[in-house]
Amino acid sequence: MSTLRDQAERERWQKERCTLVYQWPLEQGWLTTAQGERSNPVRGYHPGVDIAADSSHLYCIEHRDDGSAIIRAHDIGHVDSPNVVPTSRTIDDLFVPGTDEPVYPIRIEVLTDQELVVIGESMDGTSRTLYHYTLDGDGGSLTRRDDFPLTCSKLLTGPRDRSRRYPKYYAIAGERMHVYIVDERQTNRRNPVDGRYSAQAYRRFDSGAIDTGWARLTLAFETFPANSQVVTSYYASNDPLDGGEIDRLEGLSEDDAIRLREAGVEGLWGLLAAGEREVAALVEDASAERVETWIAAAVDRLDEQEWVTTDSANQRDILLDDVSGRYLHVRLELVGGIDASPEIDSFRAYCPKQTYLRYLPEIYQAPGPGERFLERYLSVFESEFVDIEEEIDRLARYFDPEGVPNEYLSWLSSWLAIEYDETWPAEAKREFLAEAPSLFRRRGTKVGLERTLRLYLKHVERPDTSWMTSWRRRRLEARHADNMLADDELGAALRRIEEQSAGHEPGHLLFTVEHRDIDRVTDRRARQPYTRHMEGPRSFVTFAGPFVDPEHLTTVERTVAREKPAHTHGRVVEIRHELKLEGGSFLGINSTLTPREFVLGRATLGGDTVLKGEATLL
């Protein structure tokens, strides 16, 4: 009988024996395995200084012999063999933004996929600065993190929170080497005009008819923090160029004005409605700074109009008294704090002005002071009833899966006795509701279960499985280069891969196996990888994955438990990118059969191993 110590030693040996780790050591050009064995000197690699990784890349800072430094990005989505180095590219275009001064990277951390935080040192070694590096398809861009001016010597990324874009990261910085928590914070800037955290928003409504009577303004707030306010001002006119034309704006040349007028932008309100980006596109040689100057000048001139301001701030429902004109001009002044500000969700204007006075006898509609008072008095009740009438008119949208608000999705699903996980994205819930009649007809079948799971997986983050098809092509081409495949066999195999992958975007893999699917497989060892997950003749197993988020696997498990046929048992087995022995390898996905013979001492797992004789899978 083995002792506990012997058992622990055996488990440790098994773990080390089945784990192979790629590591770039300080000794130039060598790969080291987890067992400490060195092999395959690699040309072009230099000693590593720091390392970080995201879901698909390994980033390593290398210092060259000539004193320069680069960041090497290794593709670790898949590795063919322990003796093959992953493909990589270098990031060596690190310069201080706006200058030609190079940045000498010494520490690196991952913020998100395709975003890095780098500690860069000046070439004379006197100062260190934090930089934010964003990768794109052709290269990347480096931005200085001015919000953290202390000299850093070490970085560490903390736990990730899915509700935030960036995780917290920790830095050792300053002369006394204190530990700092660096966290994302969005702050507002002060308005240079009044010195407050304020901004103005302008909007013009066009009724299409002269002397239209405007009745009401309503505002719905997305967020309304404490110590913030919204002040509303308005006026109406019939002149489409009210406020003036664009010709006299400061900094706007005659040629620029002609181009804007040709594009339909004639007045100041048209300039504000177009926005900075569209105006810059219309005037091709206009910079963002010039367009900001034009818009600021237009705002100054519009502020000189005779605006009517509401009696109090934060009014959500404003009754307009004696306001007529084709165009209703509205100005919102939003005041907040350094880290909070009000956000407007919707903004509506009601016209033409019709009051409940028209339903009263003619004597009450006669012009005079009494008519004006009664009209305003009835408007209070009208504003409430109009909202109710509009809600009744929009009632049908609550029965439309595509138009129902998110908060009413669960209510609509209860009408159809639909059960889905509350963690499903809103778009997945809407599609499920729309396809409910079709899915119900197939409920309790393998087809129905897989359609439900695919519907959910289509709306969550997808993993990058494109390497699988590329890997299969590379293996065929390698066998062809080794004279293991003829030209026509290679062509037929490549065409078969194209047919299998046509119409299927890289993403989650999903298939379900039940007992009748493997009835023809008579060999016990060939059946075992599937039957080991089944608990009896009335059971099945669903293979799904790989998953970007562990919560997606949990949701799939709950969905299978809910959608499985009655009196059956279903199990979910996750498919991972890597090869895992003891039941985690799948023929044609992460393992292949080749005609090579198994020769002890020279075989490569996945390349030279074959199933022969009784172990052949039918």
pLDDT tens digits for range 394-405: 787 778 888 888
Using 50, 70 and 90 to split pLDDT, how confident is the model at 42? very low
The helix-helix angle for 550-563 and 446-457 (nearest 10°) equals 150
| pLDDT at residue 40, as a whole number | 40
* pLDDT tens profile 62-113: 887 777 788 888 776 544 444 445 567 788 778 877 677 888 888 888 887 7
Residue 38, number of CB atoms within 10 A of its CB: 11
What percent of the chain lies above the pLDDT cut of 70?
Answer: 78
Let me know how long the chain is: 618
| pLDDT at residue 155, as a whole number | 79
432: tokens are 């499920």
Residue 572, number of CB atoms within 10 A of its CB: 20
Burial bucket for residue 430 (CB in 10 Å: 0-12, 13-18, 19+): buried
Using 50, 70 and 90 to split pLDDT, how confident is the model at 587? low
Assign 563 to helix, strand or coil: helix
Q: What is the mean pLDDT of residues 550-579?
A: 86
593: tokens are 């059969």
Alpha carbon distance 284, 298 (integer Å): 20
Contact 506, 462 (CB under 8 A): yes
Residue 111, number of CB atoms within 10 A of its CB: 20
Using 50, 70 and 90 to split pLDDT, how confident is the model at 617? very low
More confident residue, 361 or 56: 361
Q: How far is CA 512 from the centre of its chain?
A: 29
* pLDDT tens profile 188-199: 888 887 788 888
pLDDT at residue 208 tops 70:
yes
The helix-helix angle for 487-501 and 466-481 (nearest 10°) equals 180
Q: Give 50's contacts (C-beta < 8 A, 6+ positions apart).
A: 60, 61, 105, 106, 107, 108
pLDDT at residue 602 tops 60:
no
pLDDT at residue 43 tops 70:
no
| pLDDT at residue 76, as a whole number | 66
pLDDT at residue 15 tops 50:
no
Kindly list the distances between the CA atom of residue 345 and the CA atoms of 218, 219, 222, 224, 273, in Å, as whole numbers in the listed order. Answer: 11, 8, 5, 10, 18
pLDDT at residue 322 tops 80:
yes
pLDDT at residue 451 tops 80:
yes
Q: How many CA atoms lie within 13 A of 355 on its CB side?
A: 23
Kindly list the distances between the CA atom of residue 65 and the CA atoms of 28, 47, 62, 80, 124, in Å, as whole numbers in the listed order. Answer: 11, 9, 10, 30, 17
pTM score, whole prediction: 0.49
Q: How far is CA 317 from the centre of its chain?
A: 36
302: tokens are 């519009």
Give the mean pLDDT of the chain: 76
pLDDT at residue 336 tops 80:
yes
pLDDT at residue 303 tops 70:
yes
Q: Residue 617 — left, alpha, or beta (φ > 0 → left; ψ -120 to 50 → alpha)?
A: beta
Q: Comparing C-alpha atoms, which of 118, 117, 114 is closest to residue 168?
A: 117
| pLDDT at residue 358, as a whole number | 78
Note if the bond before 463 is cis, omega within 30 degrees.
Answer: no
Lowest mean pLDDT among 70-79, 358-367, 476-485, 559-568: 70-79
Lowest mean pLDDT among 183-187, 529-533, 543-547, 611-615: 611-615
What percent of the chain lies above the pLDDT cut of 90?
Answer: 7
Q: Where are the alpha helices (DSSP H) in 247-403?
A: 254-262, 268-274, 276-282, 288-302, 369-393
* pLDDT tens profile 133-173: 887 655 677 777 655 666 777 778 777 666 667 778 788 87
Evaluated on CA atoms 456, 458, 460, 464, the torsion sign reads positive
| pLDDT at residue 368, as a whole number | 72
